[in-house]
Amino acid sequence: MKIALLGMGTVGSGVARILLEQADLLAERVGEPMTLTHIMARSINNPYDLDLSSVTMVESIDEIVASDVDLVIELIGGVDHTFAFHKQLIQAGKHIVTANKDMLAQHIDELAAMANQKQVQIGYEATSGGGIPIIQPLEHALNAQHVERVMGILNGTTNFILTKMTEEGAAYGDVLKEAQELGYAEADPTNDVEGFDAQRKISLLSRLAYRRQINVHDIPVKGISQVDVEDLSIAAEKGLVMKLIGQSQFDGEMLHISVEPMFLPANHQLAHVRLAKNAIYVEGEAVGETMFYGPGAGSMETASAVVSDAMNIARFGFIGNVAPEQAVAVSAKETAQDYYIRLKTPNSQALHHLKEAGYTYESIHAEKGAFLLSNVTAEQLASIDESLGLSAAYPIVA
């Protein structure tokens, strides 16, 4: 199989490394050579000091389309131009592997339908959870049942930042910089810290899990950029650990889906997922609870998933892309839950107000105005915020 690579950045360089350095192993497992013949890159990031002399460097997508490559690996990122590239490649009958969740979360329905018509396979294992196998399991190994719930830590950068803030009291800005240097963060890290990256991932995973089209922009999202390290240390006194959680549950009609920072009890399995690791629970009607854990970001970690997609396509060719025809309406979870809250201005009147209004609460740090509130709806929380003024409010996973 002849392969072209678009983008030679963090993940692209890892993919080139596996294709070139593991050529014998890949050929043995696939039954034919997986040959990297073309690279299209704006700049060459070659941290692994690879010998690229056998590869043709090209400057435009038209050269790739006109070439004899069978499969194109897109690791450029971005939405509009890559969407146009993917359409051009599918029309030309080239199989595609990508890690580009930003573009796919918006356009996968159209691309999958077009690819099925042209008998082109799209591999996108690396779009969610970096090196963790999760797309393939949802497409294949767990497809004998209705999936009822998906929940997890879906972003390496924010998990890295929250871990360092929680365990070391590190400053948000410093750890974000470290995550960027390690190649975890997106080209625009706003996508990570404001939760958009996790929003795209929970959208792609839920689409497969429930076999429904989802409008990614409808998914309620909150990020971690406003998280105060003080809340992490106050909540730790009660054994609570913060994680950015993406979750979805389908009741057959409505998809309850969201991304937001939540506190978890320290003995919860997800509380032990540290640094750039991710973990995802998938609950199926027959299988019950399954959990997938591993590296959520990074050069070689993500490249592992990308190359394995390419190998599957080389072995099995076109097997059909999941292309649900029905769309689903989405909303955030509406049931009552427990919350950690902190008042903007701590005062004893607040306690009185909460008591009068019939709320069950526990004071964690009276001087700092931090409480645990039990069994509160989002609507009730908004009314508490209006009357008392909250500087922080985070749901607690049961």
Ligand X SMILES: N[C@@H](CC=O)C(=O)O
Residues placed in the known binding site: 6-13, 101, 186
Q: Is 94 in the active site?
A: no
Lookup: tokens for 355 = 């008591």
CB of 248 to ligand NDP, least distance (A): 20
| Member of 83, 89, 100, 339 binding ligand NDP (CB under 6 A) | 100
Q: Is 77 in the site for ligand NDP (CB under 6 A)?
A: yes
Residues placed in the known binding site for NADPH: 101
Interacting span for ligand NDP (CB under 6 A) from 73-81, 247-255, 349-357, 381-389: 73-81
Please, which of residues 172-191 interact with ligand X by CB under 6 A? 184-186
Count of residues of this chain found to bind ligand NDP when the rule CB under 6 A is applied = 28
CB of 180 to ligand X, least distance (A): 10
What is the distance between the alpha carbons of residues 13 and 108, in angstroms, rounded to a whole number? 25
Sign of the CA dihedral 315, 318, 324, 330? Answer: positive
Q: Is 231 in the site for ligand X (CB under 6 A)?
A: no
Q: Is 123 in the site for ligand NDP (CB under 6 A)?
A: no
In angstroms, the first-to-last Cα distance of the chain is 49
Are 132 and 278 within 8 A, CB to CB?
yes
Q: What burial class does residue 285 get, using C-beta atoms within 10 Å of its C-beta: 0-12 exposed, 13-18 middle, 19+ buried?
A: exposed
CB of 123 to ligand NDP, least distance (A): 13
Please, which of residues 300-339 interact with ligand NDP by CB under 6 A? 302
- Catalytic one of 118, 164, 177, 201: 201
- CB closer to ligand X, 23 vs 300: 300
Q: Which residues pair with 240 in a beta bridge?
A: 265
Residue 200, classed as helix, strand or coil, is: helix
CB of 389 to ligand NDP, least distance (A): 38
What is the distance between the alpha carbons of residues 335 and 122, in angstroms, rounded to a whole number? 37
Q: Is 43 in the site for ligand NDP (CB under 6 A)?
A: yes
Q: How many CB atoms lie within 10 A of CB 105?
A: 25
| Member of 123, 152, 183, 223 binding ligand NDP (CB under 6 A) | 183
Kindly report the three-state secondary structure assignment for every residue of 83-112: HHHHHHHHHCCCEEEECCHHHHHHHHHHHH
Site for ligand X, rule CB under 6 A: 130, 155-157, 184-186, 192, 197, 296-297
> What is the set of active-site residues?
201
